[in-house]
Structure 1
Amino acid sequence: MNLISFYLPQFHEIPENNDAWGKGFTEWTNVKKSKPLYWGHYQPREPFNDNYYNLLDEEVIRWQAQLATKAGIYGFCFYHYWFEGRMVLEKPIYNLLNDKTVHINYCMAWANESWTKTWHGAGGEKEILIPQTYGREEEWEKHYLYFLDYFRDDRYIKNQNRPVLLIYRLKNIPEFNEMIQYWNMRAKKDGFDGVYIISMNMHREHVDKSIWVNGSVDFEPNRTKAEMLRQVTWLTPHDNKKCILNRFAMKTISYNKINKKMLESKHSKGQYRAVFINFDDSPRRGVKGIITRGANPNNFKKYLLKNIQKTVEEDNEYLFINAWNEWGEGNYLEPDKKYKDSYLKVIQETMDNYKKQLKKRG
Structure 2
Amino acid sequence: MTDVKPIAFYLPQFYPNAINDINWGQGFSEWRSVVKAKPLFDGHFQPRLPGALGFYDLRSQEVFEEQADLARAAGVFGFCFYYYRMGSRRLLERPLHSYLDGGRPDFPFMFCWANESWTRAWDGKSDDLLLEQLYDDVTKQGLIADLVEATKDPRYIRIKEKPFVLIYQVERIPDRKLWLEELRQAVWSRTGQELTIGCVFSPGLRLEMLRDVDSVVQFPPHRLPRNLPRKLIDVETVSPFDTSREDYFESYDAIVEAALTRVDGFERMYPGVTPDWDNSPRRSKNAHVVVGSTPAKFAAWVRRASDVSREKFQSGSIDAPLLFVNAWNEWAEGAVLEPTESLGTAYLSALTQGICASSV
Whether TM-score is above 0.5 comes out as yes
Is structure 2 residue 15 aligned with structure 1 residue 12?
yes
Q: Structure 1 residues 227, 334: closer, same or farther in 2, change over 3 A? A: farther
**Distance in structure 1 (CA, Å) of the matches to 2:139 and 2:248:** 42
Listed as ranges, the gaps of 5+ residues in structure 1 are 358-362
Deviations 1:202-243 (A, max 9, x none): 22864452543011111211124988774212425xx566x3
**Distance in structure 2 (CA, Å) of the matches to 1:292 and 1:150:** 35
Q: Structure 1 residues 226, 126: closer, same or farther in 2, change over 3 A? A: farther
Kept after mapping to 2: 8 A contact 1:13/1:25: yes
1:295 alignment partner, one of 290, 293, 297: 293
> How far apart are 1:113 and its partner, in Å?
1.4
1:24 alignment partner, one of 27, 31, 35: 27
> How far apart are 1:97 and its partner, in Å?
0.7
Is structure 2 residue 121 aligned with structure 1 residue 119?
yes
2:353 alignment partner, one of 349, 352, 356: 349
Equivalent residues in 2 for 1:84-123 (5 A)?
A: 84-116=87-119, 118-120=120-122, 122-123=123-124
Is structure 2 residue 277 aligned with structure 1 residue 279?
yes
Equivalent residues in 2 for 1:192-207 (5 A)?
A: 192-203=192-203, 206-207=206-207
Q: Structure 1 residues 83, 301: closer, same or farther in 2, change over 3 A? A: same
Letter in 2 for 1:221: P
Q: Structure 1 residues 206, 282: closer, same or farther in 2, change over 3 A? A: farther
Q: Which residue number in structure 2 is paired with residue 221 of structure 1?
A: 221
Deviations 1:260-281 (A, max 9, x none): 1111114265311100111111
Deviations 1:245-295 (A, max 9, x none): 375564211101111111111426531110011111111113421211110
Three-state SS of the structure 1 residue aligned to 2:80 is strand
> How far apart are 1:191 and its partner, in Å?
4.4
Kept after mapping to 2: 8 A contact 1:235/1:250: no
Q: Which residue number in structure 1 is paired with residue 134 of structure 2?
A: 133
**Distance in structure 1 (CA, Å) of the matches to 2:238 and 2:221:** 26
Three-state SS of the structure 1 residue aligned to 2:158 is coil
**Distance in structure 1 (CA, Å) of the matches to 2:118 and 2:245:** 29
Deviations 1:184-215 (A, max 9, x none): 22233344441111011122864452543011
Q: Which residue number in structure 2 is paired with residue 330 of structure 1?
A: 334
**Distance in structure 1 (CA, Å) of the matches to 2:274 and 2:139:** 35
Q: Which residue number in structure 2 is paired with residue 270 of structure 1?
A: 268
Letter in 2 for 1:326: E
Three-state SS of the structure 2 residue aligned to 1:77 is strand
Listed as ranges, the gaps of 5+ residues in structure 2 are none
Q: Which residue number in structure 2 is paired with residue 360 of structure 1?
A: none
Letter in 1 for 2:270: Y
Q: Structure 1 residues 39, 84: closer, same or farther in 2, change over 3 A? A: same
Kept after mapping to 2: 8 A contact 1:76/1:105: yes
Q: Structure 1 residues 312, 93: closer, same or farther in 2, change over 3 A? A: same
**Distance in structure 2 (CA, Å) of the matches to 1:191 and 1:107:** 16
Task: Give the length in aligned residue pairs.
Answer: 350
2:258 alignment partner, one of 255, 258, 261: 261
Kept after mapping to 1: 8 A contact 2:115/2:168: yes
**Distance in structure 1 (CA, Å) of the matches to 2:50 and 2:207:** 37
Is structure 2 residue 246 aligned with structure 1 residue 245?
no
Counting aligned pairs with the same residue, the percent is 30
Q: Which residue number in structure 2 is paired with residue 312 of structure 1?
A: 310
Three-state SS of the structure 1 residue aligned to 2:140 is helix
Three-state SS of the structure 1 residue aligned to 2:341 is coil
Equivalent residues in 2 for 1:47-196 (5 A)?
A: 47-49=50-52, 51-116=54-119, 118-120=120-122, 122-124=123-125, 126-136=127-137, 139-196=139-196
User: What RMSD, in angstroms, separates the aligned Cα atoms of the two structures?
Assistant: 2.3
Three-state SS of the structure 1 residue aligned to 2:212 is coil
Three-state SS of the structure 2 residue aligned to 1:163 is strand
Letter in 1 for 2:34: V
Deviations 1:289-309 (A, max 9, x none): 121111010000011100000
